[in-house]
Chain A
């Protein structure tokens, strides 16, 4: 008969160390973070980690922060969030869309814990949502690209067709069309956030097909490096990638969560936290443009002017009228612009993009 020594391993482990008691930490506000990727991904998760560190630094004597990284968006997410709640975290940020239902479930079980879910749309009394208006930066990038391109072909490397990515493509196109009506996009979906090799392959394919400006909605600096090698221009994404493309990067659409995390922790400390739907952009410093580089002064001036206009709400990238790719004018639910719901759920392309939204 085969003996199951694993049972013995477990039994002895339990008996051997059961006697040691628990240790508890001091009475600071505990703030937990759930990340979908590794903190060192140089992209989306890394930016949230930068925000967490900013929070820890700003309120060091009042808060204690913890994170769980690389949490899969399947059945593990709910437990991971609940583990943070059980560990005494009173404010928990779940930083990826895929954590939405899990966050809703745990929030219902822990009414005294405040939850914040990034990029989602389900709220509760103790569950707020927050997101950044990335498309604002992309509109500026579109304008720059429209001015800088000679071939009138912009290469666009994208991960997955989610509304945030689609609205980014549209904002870029609207920005480009505002200065150059002849711009065309070539789009490649790599179906991954984390495959630098594939991003580089896509970048090369786009350049070979005539693109002289690269835009990306993937996280790694691979495309930036290819642009640098091939002597064309590119935009960074999530974080400033100037190091990887000193002659290539025009600017980068970066997200900065630090201000928001500090504000929300302060609200909890002051007992004033309530469930909100926050959607900030350039105005509150949640979207930050990396310095405008490698472009003539007039383009730089234009970019700065547009940035200022968006910041002061004088210009909205999705101002009406907007025509979709089938020539139909889009209903303007926000008065003179698309409303938040339309942008948050965007699944159609604007006129001028002769591609098809995957799955539509």
Chain B
């Protein structure tokens, strides 16, 4: 018993376990960061999975054709933004129901990614290079974790810090939150509600596209249809888990990633738990932790935008 616990302890605090967790969490963090901004502006885009998978297909296509990871990442970003643009035109321009449009966007995206990606199945690329700083990366223990990740990881961290600064330390961020909390008042104050929401939606699409591109550019450097495997849905759930707060989003994404990896890594240790239960762990853990957080703070801790998902048509 004690020996098993020590083994688990060693496992969790090993450098390679943490590196694996970072890789698994990064696409979740990227996609959910974008969706957090979208939802903070009052729009609910359930099409994250669709935008991610198109981002993956276009990201791989871009990198394979150009030989450059950067071009691939940009292709993914543009593809995700383009898809979210369609969503924005429909839901903001034509006041179409957001939930139905988001789900339709996922069906559309899954099909589109298959058509785009078909030509690239069976191809491979060199994955994004990991950072290597002399001295720093070679530091024992933390060197590779802090200074030896792939560029997407640093982008994801910069992104979420940027989002936090934007939302809480800048005037446009304040406006965005106001639009999400009460679009009628924001409109009455003269803010262009729909334009602000459109920008947020495009930003969210770009993030989802980048998150999708991360999969074939860094995680597993090849493309196969459906390779996002539901990560877009998890990203949506994480925004809720975070109560729409950037700080908690990081915790949520890394918690989910860590428990998923734990559910795999513990299996060979023979704990006598059915593998299905081990594979349930990340989902159960998020539910339990959310319940505990919510219980401790009550609903006061939530920053849920009051206008989330509601149609807004300006009166003139």
Binding site for B on A (CB under 8 A): 38, 40-42, 46, 161, 186-192, 194-202, 204-209, 220-222, 225, 229, 243-244, 354-356, 358-359
Contact = CB atoms under 8 A, between A and B. Distances in A.
B267 interface: yes
B118 A40 contact: yes
B215 A187 contact: no
B20 to A, nearest CB: 5
A193 B16 CA distance: 25
Given A191-B279, A201-B260, A204-B20, A196 B224 contact: yes
Contact of B220 (A40, A188, A222, A355): A222
B227 A197 contact: yes
Interface string B142-181: 0000000000000000000000000000000000000000
B264 A205 contact: yes
Query: Considering residues A186, A192, A205, which has the most beta carbons from chain B within 10 angstroms of its beta carbon?
Result: A205
Per CB-CB distance, the 3 closest pairs between chain A and chain B, nearest first, are: A186-B268, A189-B275, A205-B265
B306 interface: no
Nearest to B19: A204
A40 B215 contact: no
A197 B229 contact: yes
Nearest to A359: B274
A194 B268 contact: no
Contacts of B233: none
A195 B229 contact: yes
Task: Provide the main secondary structure of the chain A interface.
Answer: mixed
A202 B17 CA distance: 11
Given A40-B117, A209-B265, 10 more contacts: A195-B227, A195-B229, A196-B227, A197-B215, A201-B261, A208-B16, A208-B265, A209-B11, A225-B221, A225-B222
A194 B17 CA distance: 23
A200 B225 CA distance: 16
A354 B14 contact: no
A38 B220 contact: no
Interface of B: 11, 14, 16-17, 19-20, 23-24, 27, 114, 117-118, 121-122, 124, 127, 215, 219-222, 224-227, 229, 231, 260-261, 264-265, 267-268, 270, 272, 274-276, 278-279
B224 A189 contact: no
Contacts of B220: 196-197, 199-200, 220, 222, 225
Given A206-B268, A358-B274, A201 B16 contact: no
A40 B120 CA distance: 9
B217 to A, nearest CB: 12
Given A208-B16, A244-B124, A355-B270, A196 B215 contact: yes
B31 to A, nearest CB: 13
A120 B16 CA distance: 41
Contacts of B16: 204, 207-208
Given A41-B224, A244-B222, A197 B24 contact: yes
A213 to B, nearest CB: 14
B35 to A, nearest CB: 19
Given A197-B219, A225-B222, A354-B270, A42 B264 contact: no
Contacts of B270: 354-356
A149 to B, nearest CB: 15
Contacts of B20: 201, 204-205, 208
Given A198-B264, A358-B276, A41 B219 contact: no
Query: Considering residues B11, B124, B215, which has the most beta carbons from chain A within 10 angstroms of its beta carbon?
Result: B124
B104 to A, nearest CB: 14
7 contacts: A189-B275, A190-B279, A194-B224, A196-B219, A209-B11, A243-B122, A243-B124
Given A204-B16, A208-B17, A243-B124, A187 B268 contact: yes
B225 A38 contact: yes
B261 A191 contact: no
Nearest to A157: B264
